[in-house]
Every structure is written in structure tokens, then in C-alpha cells.
Structure 1
Amino acid sequence: MKKGMFICVEGIDASGKTTQAKLLVKNLNKKGYEAIYTSEPTKGFFGQILRQKILYGNKRAPAVIEALLFALDRLEHVEKEIKPALKKGKIIVSDRYFYSSIAYQGAAGLDPAWIEEINKWAVKPDLAIYLDVPAEVVIKRLGKKRSVMETLENQRKVREVYLRLVNEGKLMLIDGNRSVKEIGEEILQVVLERLKNRSL
């Protein structure tokens, strides 16, 4: 039976991760692989609460509430989308995963070990990519229309946590301060190399 592959793409806001996750799926499909795109927060029950009340509200909820809601949304995501796709041998590319919780709620003061604990049941990605872009660059990209999490200070803190995860070997860093094409080509090569090594 063909084994599926789970990839997640992480990064601070406006780092280009959504573009790259979708581009990776498109490029893999062109190469003959069955790849699908998914994202967090999802469009499920808890994902809708996160989108409406937490991410785009006027003020931030307590970090512990955010972390628990994201974990509940992720549980639904894993059971309804990720596991079924992997069982069918598909490549599933997620735009954000539990590393986002460690980065964002960790930057808000929560213990990263506790965040990992409430997400310990989550399927571990075969490859976790982090698109690194300076906080100052993403703030310019975002312009004036920003959510409560999209402040320069917060993005800097979140980036620091992501870089710590890179240093711990949990994420693979890709320079996100280049053209969409250049970044996309590098990510595709990394993924194809992983797929090739798995089939040896």
C-alpha cells in the first residue's frame, strides 16, 4: 500500500506560506503525485470560532484559551482530513500546524512544553518547513489592515520562537525573502528528495 506523506508550512503572518503551500500542491500534482492542500484554523466548528471571535476580533483572548481552541480545531483537522488522506496514500500539505501554536501562544507567554503536551496526540509531520521573513518585511506587506496578532512586536516574538524550533531541529528553514518562484523551486526539490529517499 502506498504510504502518504504529511508536510506542513509554517511562518509568521504574510510570510508567503499560503502561497507556497498551494504552489507545492500544484507542482506535486503536475509531477503525478496526488497532493492536497489544507489549512489551520479549519472551517470546522472550532475553526470558525477562532476566525470570528479570536483572530479577527477587536482584542486578543487569553493565550490559554487560544491554545485550547487551536488544539480542539486541530483534533478535528487530524481526524477528518489528515489521517484519512494519509490512509489513502496522498500527500497532504497543511498551511500551519501545531508549530503555529507553539510560536504564537508561546510568544504570548505560555510554556511551550505545555502547548506540546496538549497537542501530543497530533500526527507528526514527515516534513515541517519554516519560511523565514523578517518581521519588518511582513508588517509592510500587511499594510494597515491587520488583526490583533499582527503587530510588529508580536511578529518579532513569534519569529524568535520559530527560529528556536529551527535550532532544535524541529523545523527546516527556507529563506522566504526571495521571489515566489525561487522559494517554490527550493521547497519542491526538498520534497522530491524526501519522496525519492522514502522509495529507496
Structure 2
Amino acid sequence: MIKTKGFFITFEGGEASGKTTQIKKLKNWLQKNKIPSLITREPGGTKIAEYLRKIILSKKENVSINMEVLLLMTSRLDHLNKVIIPALNNNKIVICDRYVDSTAIYQGYYNKFGVQKIYQLHKLLLNNFLPNLTFVFNNNPNIAKKRLLKRKNKNKYDKVDYKFNNKINSAFIKLAKKNSRFIIIDATLSINEIHDIIISYLINKKSLNEFKKSKYNK
């Protein structure tokens, strides 16, 4: 396991769960309070990873599940080495929109590659580099459906399908309940309520001593 100085936080959940909106609000809060941070996403975050993202999420490309997993691992390795780890070594808080847990749920569980196989590959290829903290958004599939209907640019996983969104959401929650790294967020609450919960949790998190020692306020 690679040791770094910063703090690594990931946001996970099904499509249209509101996690990206919360990342933007958290970014503004961190900037307002002059806390060194980096906001990034997966797949993506580097030139190579963003290129691979287009292939992975394309509706046109006929990519097998094995190839999709390897492309995700490749993009993540590049992302870790060039962006995430350097930022953490500079004592920054890194916020990432999706990470290995999304691969475990979408490719491992839904596409039947195997959840444990995903984590085994992650351990083998990426030194089992995991977040310090992961927020998982527990969303209502009906709400997700309404939001997806309004979304213009959809990728192959942006499915306006109740069963699909319910399976993905349920799998995330099941995974989150198995590990103390995860914090489950009620995604049906208002945007401001969710933001306040996230900030309150981060301020009180023992691992974030810099928050406690500062005068940072909401």
C-alpha cells in the first residue's frame, strides 16, 4: 500500500444520484476556506484516461467486458500516477467522482465480470490504492429516471430503466454496508441538506485534523 500525505475522498452511486452536484458544492466550500484540493473524475483525469473514457462509455464501440475492465484499469493507473498520488503527496484533499468501487459494481456485478475479480486486479495492478473515505449516494430509481430523461448527452450506462438503476443502487448500498470506509448518503434529501451532512462529517472526521485545527465554517 502506497502511503501519501493528503486525504483521498471518492463519491460513488448510480446514475443521476446527485454526487457530481455535491462535488461541485464541496469544491466551492474548499476553495472558499482556502483548503488545498484537487477535483477529478473517472474514467478520466489525464489526457490518456480521457481518451479511453470515450471508448469505455461509447454506445458505438463494441467493447467486450474483459476489454472494458482492462481499459478502466489502464486509465486508472495513469490517473493515479500522474494526478491523484502527486496531489496527495502535496498534502491536498483529492475528490474523485467515481473510482474502483464503480468498476466493481458496473463491470464486476452488473456485467458479471466478478466483483472480487475487480478488487483482485486492483490489488495486483494498482497496489490496492484505496480512498480514505467514500460517500455512496443512496438514490430512488424513480428520481434517477426523471433526471435521466432530462439529460441530453447520455453514455451507455445512462439508462432510463428502473430495474437497471435499482440493481446498481442496491449493489452500491450492499457494498457500502460491508466496509467502514463508506458513508451512505440519502440522495433524496435536498441539495443543501446533503452538502451540510458532507461538510459536517468531514469537519468531525478524526483523520482530517487540519479541519479541527482551523477556523473553517460552513
Q: Say yes or no: TM over 0.5.
A: yes
- Given that 1:166 and 1:172 are in contact with CA atoms closer than 8 Å, whether structure 2 keeps it comes out as yes
- Find the counterpart in structure 1 of residue 216 from structure 2: none
Question: Paired residue for 1:192?
Answer: 203
Matches within 5 A, 1:74-113: 74-105=76-107, 106-113=109-116
Shift of 1:9: 0.5
Aligned residues: 198
Specify the alignment match of 1:35 in structure 2.
37
CA drift of 1:7 comes to 0.3
Q: Deviation of residue 60 (structure 1)? A: 6.0
Change (3 A) 1:103 1:41: same
Higher relative contact order (CA 8 A, sep 6+): 1
8 Å contact 2:56–2:72 — kept in the other structure? no
Q: Does 1:15 align with 2:17?
A: yes
Q: Match of 1:166, as an amino acid?
A: A
> Which structure 2 segments of 5+ residues have no match?
213-218
**Which residue number corresponds to residue 215 of structure 2?**
none
Secondary structure of 1:67's aligned partner: helix
- Given residue 172 of structure 2, which amino acid in structure 1 is its aligned partner? Y
Instruction: State, as a whole percentage, how many aligned pairs show the same letter.
Output: 29
SS at match of 2:205: helix
Match of 2:144 in 1: 138
**Judging changes above 3 Å, is the alpha-carbon distance between structure 1 residues 118 and 158 closer, same or farther for their aligned structure 2 residues?**
same
Q: Which amino acid aligns with 2:148?
A: L
Change (3 A) 1:165 1:175: same
CA displacement, residues 155-198 of structure 1 (integer Å, 9 cap, x when unaligned): 22211220111121242100111211111111111111125664
Which residue among 152, 158, 180 is the counterpart of 1:150? 158
Structure 1: runs of 5 or more not aligned: none
- The alignment yields a C-alpha RMSD, in angstroms, of 2.1
Query: Which whole-Å CA distance do the structure 2 matches of 1:75 and 1:183 have between them?
Result: 31
- Residue deviations 1:18-54, cap 9 Å, x none? 1111211221222231122111111432432332x33
* In structure 2, distance between residues paired with 1:36 and 1:46: 17
Cα drift, residue 3 of structure 1: 3.1
Maintained 8 Å contact 1:44/1:73 = no
Q: Which residue of 2 aligns with 1:166?
A: 176
Task: Give me the whole-angstrom Cα distance separating, in 2, the residues matched to 1:60 and 1:171.
Answer: 33
